[in-house]
Amino acid sequence: MPTGLPPSQPAAAQPTARPDNKPSPPACPICGMPVIREESENFFEATIPNQPPVLLCSAVCAVVYTDRHPEVTRLDVFDYQRRTLVPAQTAFHLYESKLEVRAAMPPVTASFAVRSDAETARKAHSGRVLTWEELRRAIRQTNYYKTSP
């Protein structure tokens, strides 16, 4: 289809509007993936004083973000069982499980405020139950972390 431009110059991309006219969801500052609270079952929310909270799409992006921003004073994660935000540092994280977690990026994690909830999910879907510090160590060993933008 002719564009009126010489072949060496591609046509500029035109911005696209969402058909429902809703604002676009916030993008994860690490990978750029949209973070849709209503759809994600493993998002994180980081707080830095005097700044709005930052949504992160996955455990990998949360570890990368907190490593790059030591000024984060609060990190919350979506509780898979209770469907609310809980402190990531005190949650129990089911890592490398076969549990279906919506909007999850690998390695898949599901977080729980209560250890027994995490253990019940582990028994049904395999994986390892980790503390936040154990999860951080495990993620730092992955290629996902090592190659993050």
Distance, in Å, from the CA atom of 40 to the CA atom of 75, rounded to the nearest integer, reads: 16
- Answer whether 105's CB lies under 8 Å from 94's CB: no
* pLDDT for residue 70: 97
Residue 126, pLDDT score: 96
Each residue's pLDDT expressed in tens, for the chain with a length of 149 residues = 444 434 443 333 333 445 666 788 899 999 999 998 888 999 999 999 999 999 999 999 999 999 999 999 999 999 999 999 999 999 999 999 999 998 767 888 999 999 999 999 999 999 999 999 999 999 999 998 888 88
Residues in Cβ contact with 115 at an 8 Å cutoff, skipping those fewer than 6 apart: 92, 129
CB 140 within 8 A of CB 63: yes
State the pLDDT at residue 20.
Answer: 66
* CA angle centred on 45, ends 61 and 92, rounded to 5°: 80
Tens digit of pLDDT for each residue in 119-141? 999 999 999 999 999 999 999 99
Task: Enumerate residues 6+ apart whose C-beta is below 8 A from 77.
Answer: 42, 43, 44, 45, 59, 62, 85, 86, 87, 88, 91, 93, 111
